[in-house]
Amino acid sequence: MADLTILDVGHGNCAVLRDDRGAVVIDAGPGSTLLEFLEQREITAIDAVLISHADADHVGGLLALLAQEHIVVRTVFLNTEPLRKTAAWDQLLVALTDAHRRRAVKVHSQLTSTSSELLRREEVEIQVLSPSPVMALVGAGGQQPGGPQLSANAMSAVVRIVVNGIPEVLLPGDLDAVGLDYLLAECPEPRARVLVFPHHGGRPGRADPEDFAARLCTIVGADVVIFSIGRGKHATPQPEVIRGVLRAKPGAHIACTQLSERCAASLPSAPPTHLNERPARGRVGNTCCAGTIELTLRGDASTYTPARSGHRNFVEREAPAALCMGRGQFAGRQPTSPTPRTASRSRPRTSG
């Protein structure tokens, strides 16, 4: 039995994988939600923390995690970022140095497609699809011969969770259009049932947001597309991004962790009843939409909460301009035909 919980940390990313071997944290967004979740689930040991890239909204929670004396963190994987000059990066280096010296935390300075060998488990497979080792050697700010300059977002590690041979969840950090090209060079079919959309639904570098979203969703083929957002932060998800998702996957369940101001100018008057019991940052201010999303991973019998029906009922009632339902800026518009698929495969059964 395995489950993956995509935590509502506001504007940021954080997911926790649990299986018979233990727990793995994938990105660690800011705030206390991760620690609250670990306490609720009585998790006191983390096998590995995988950091897609060192933006504060992906590493902020790692500082607090490493400071917990009652939680054992065995290994941290992240790529070196020598050009990064931020307070969050400096604080992280100090925290990792202390954790390594005092508590023997192993620190791997690469998270690339070769790292999958170090993350072997049993029925659950953690695949790092990108970047490649050579791309990591070039690093953010560099460029491979004949290629574009790489940004930190292009270098985001892309992680896929596979259960019993079925690709379940794709977590691409803040991947942009340049990074997507490199991903496809490494893994031409990065398919998954669930996609945590990159960069919280923000702009994908210089690429057209709608075309990028349509291309990514066509390639991944996800039935569930999740946006990890904070209400009022950077106005995500971008309407053009949602339009691209609907263009490629008109039947997909689109779920935002918090209720975007683009979808509802006012907050619900009462707490929503469709949320699951897991900690969610939006509970305090009643800003949740789907809140924290938990997936029970069973291959062709996987489920997730909150269920689609309950979440959709909430959106219909509380989000008069819901982008995911074609309202607001999409009123009167119809999604264009989906981009043809580059590959096909049988779809696992999804309930929820």
CATH code of the domain containing 312: 3.60.15.10
pLDDT score at 144 = 84
Domain count, the chain: 1
Q: State residue 329's pLDDT score.
A: 60
Please give the pLDDT value at position 328. 64
Q: Establish if 292 belongs to a structural domain.
A: yes
For 266, residues 6+ apart whose C-beta sits below 8 A from its C-beta are none
Residues 138-167 pLDDT 10s: 988 888 888 899 999 999 999 999 999 999
pLDDT in tens, 43-74: 999 999 999 999 999 999 999 999 999 999 99
Residue 285 pLDDT greater than 90, yes or no: yes
In a domain, residue 335? The reply is: no
pLDDT per position as a tens digit, 193-248? 999 999 999 999 999 999 999 999 999 999 999 999 999 989 999 999 999 999 99
In a domain, 337, yes or no: no
Strands (DSSP E) along the chain, which ranges?
A: 2-6, 14-19, 22-28, 45-46, 48-50, 72-73, 75-77, 106-108, 124-130, 158-163, 166-171, 194-196, 224-227, 253-256, 293-297, 303-305
The answer to whether position 338 is within a domain reads: no
The mean per-residue pLDDT over the stretch 115-136 comes to 94
In a domain, 214, yes or no: yes
- Residue 343 has a pLDDT of 37
Question: Could you give the CA distance from residue 106 to residue 116 in angstroms, rounded to a whole number?
Answer: 16
Q: Do the beta carbons of residue 253 and residue 225 sit within 8 Å?
A: yes
Contact 65, 46 (CB under 8 A): yes
Q: Which secondary-structure segment (H or E) carries 122?
A: none
Q: Is residue 339 part of a domain?
A: no
Domain that holds residue 96: 2-330
Answer yes or no: is 341 within a domain. no
- Residue at token pair 């460029």: 143
- The verdict on residue 347 lying in a domain is no
pLDDT of the residue at 339: 40
